[in-house]
Amino acid sequence: MHDPVIINADSKDPMKKVIILFLLLVNTLMSAQKAQRIGYVDLDYILENIPEYQQAQSSINAKIIHWQQDITTKQKQIDSLKNALENERVLMPEDLLVESEEAIHMKEVALKALQTAYFGTKGDLFFYRKQLVRPIQDQVYNAVREIAQKRRFDFVLDKSSELMLLYANQKFDVSELVIKQLNRDRKSKKASDKRAMSKSESAENSQDTEELEAAEKKNERDAKRIALQEKIAAKKAAQLEKRAALKAELDAKKAKKQQEREDRLKKTKNDH
């Protein structure tokens, strides 16, 4: 089965509508022997039921208000300079008048550049909206494609666009299915993120446990090493004490023998 054609004719360009209708006609002629299955969605209704889209729109609207206020403030400053210049025009020297007019003109040029930077075709609003809204639109497109393939639709039209549907059978409205698909995808992503977070936390806990066990083993090794050192030191001290006692005993015996020898010599001298 070929990929379903998803059509959103939300455009004021009549040529685009002609091209779309021409493609529909060509596809119909090429598949004359096969009944065409066409579904439709209400894209506005779908987007209203996507919290992320509403949040994105609120953020975009806040940016627009901020930018518009910035432009309004600068425009008021220019208007104030113009009014002051008009009031003082008669009294101002020619060279100062020309200089003031040039300064005001430069501010007007800068303001137009700022407006373009904010709201131009490639301005901040374009990129900000693309950054926030485009991922949501892609999710909707993928959900519509998946449902279209399951139901074997050849075309899926957008009911909220300018391509008018003069009649639509409710049973071919798959808007609710798209919303359910998006909710399933969102829940699946949350579950996946939760599993990833749980896995990460488990890995961290495992790492903490390993580090704690390693620290406990190190402390145990250190305690055993200290105990062994103390045991060796005590044994060495006992050996030294024993050696000192033995030496003292030998010295005492030696001194006694020396005294006995001296006593014998002294006695011998006295006898003679």
Sign, Cα dihedral of 47, 138, 175, 33 = positive
Domain range for 131 is 5-173
Q: Which of 4-13, 37-46, 101-110, 191-200 has maximum average pLDDT?
A: 101-110
- Looking at residue 233, its amino acid is A
39: closest CA among 131, 207, 174?
Answer: 174
Q: Is residue 245 part of a domain?
A: no
Whether pLDDT at 67 is above 90 = yes
Q: Is residue 142 part of a domain?
A: yes
Alpha carbon separation from 4 to 16, 28, 30, 119, 215 (Å, rounded): 19, 13, 15, 35, 62
Q: Is residue 64 part of a domain?
A: yes
Whether pLDDT at 13 is above 50 = yes
Q: Is residue 46 part of a domain?
A: yes
Whether pLDDT at 61 is above 90 = yes
Q: Is residue 101 part of a domain?
A: yes
Q: What pLDDT band is residue 151 in, cutting at 50, 70 and 90? A: confident
* Angle at CA of residue 224, ends 219 and 227, nearest 5°: 125
Question: What is the pTM for the complete model shown?
Answer: 0.51
Q: Is residue 268 part of a domain?
A: no
Of the listed ranges 64-68, 84-88, 170-174, 176-180, the least confidently predicted one is 170-174
Q: Is residue 68 part of a domain?
A: yes
Of the listed ranges 124-133, 181-190, 240-249, the least confidently predicted one is 240-249
Q: Is residue 217 part of a domain?
A: no
* Total structural domains within the chain: 1
